[in-house]
């Protein structure tokens, strides 16, 4: 999935709801410049801001992520996992996270499951974010640092964490090697 497609979906809902960039920035608490850059330069936003945009536009997060088809049960085979989107640590810098949606074909879902490659660049700039809901993360490979509020936790292979997403948080890899996690995000309706 390209970030252009997501930007187009966001702009389409902004138009339908008659919400301009200024109003979207005010309602989400996001910087106007951030929203403009995301929409015009096709930069994929981190999930926290994307969740705030979805809430403001009255849609679920999956509206921006999936292809609007329903399969039940929905099975994602590792060899067929294709839908990747990258989150940049900073503008004009390499990606820090590569997300692979594991629920993209199930439109009536209430959770957002992901396989995520956490790249070393994720540790360069740690910007905490918060949003409604809950998150669960299980480390498959490598070492992961989770900043949750004022505390920092180090997770190794096989460890997991479950937390309330309204508390500011940030997840990055620890050390020079990429980490891999499964993450599930629940956003109440």
What is the domain-level CATH number for residue 40? 1.10.260.40
- Domain of 113 in residue numbering reads as 78-186
Q: What is the pLDDT of residue 171?
A: 94
Q: How many CB atoms lie within 10 A of CB 30?
A: 20
Q: Is residue 71 part of a domain?
A: no
- Percentage of the chain beyond pLDDT 70 is 82
Count of the separate structural domains present in the chain? 2
Q: What is the pLDDT of residue 72?
A: 61
Task: Write out pLDDT tens, residues 48-68.
Answer: 888 889 889 988 777 776 545
Is residue 100 over pLDDT 90? no
Is residue 87 over pLDDT 70? no
pTM of the model: 0.67
């Amino acid at each position: 999935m390209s970030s252009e497609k997501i930007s187009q979906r966001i702009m389409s809902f902004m138009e339908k709801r008659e919400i301009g960039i200024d109003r979207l920035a005010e309602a989400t608490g996001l910087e106007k410049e951030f929203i403009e850059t995301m929409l015009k330069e096709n930069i994929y936003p981190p999930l926290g801001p994307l969740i705030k945009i979805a809430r403001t536009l009255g849609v679920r997060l999956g509206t921006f992520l999936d292809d609007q088809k329903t399969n039940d049960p929905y099975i994602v085979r590792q060899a067929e996992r294709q839908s990747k989107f990258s989150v940049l640590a900073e503008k004009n810098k390499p990606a820090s996270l590569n997300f692979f949606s594991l629920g993209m074909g199930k439109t009536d879902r209430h959770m957002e499951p992901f396989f995520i490659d956490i790249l070393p660049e994720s540790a360069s700039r740690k910007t905490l974010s918060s949003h409604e809901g809950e998150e669960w993360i299980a480390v498959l490979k490598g070492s992961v640092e989770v900043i949750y509020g004022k505390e920092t936790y180090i997770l190794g292979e096989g460890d997991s964490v479950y937390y309330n997403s309204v508390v500011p948080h940030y997840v990055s890899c620890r050390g020079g090697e990429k980490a891999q996690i499964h993450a599930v995000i629940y956003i109440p309706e």
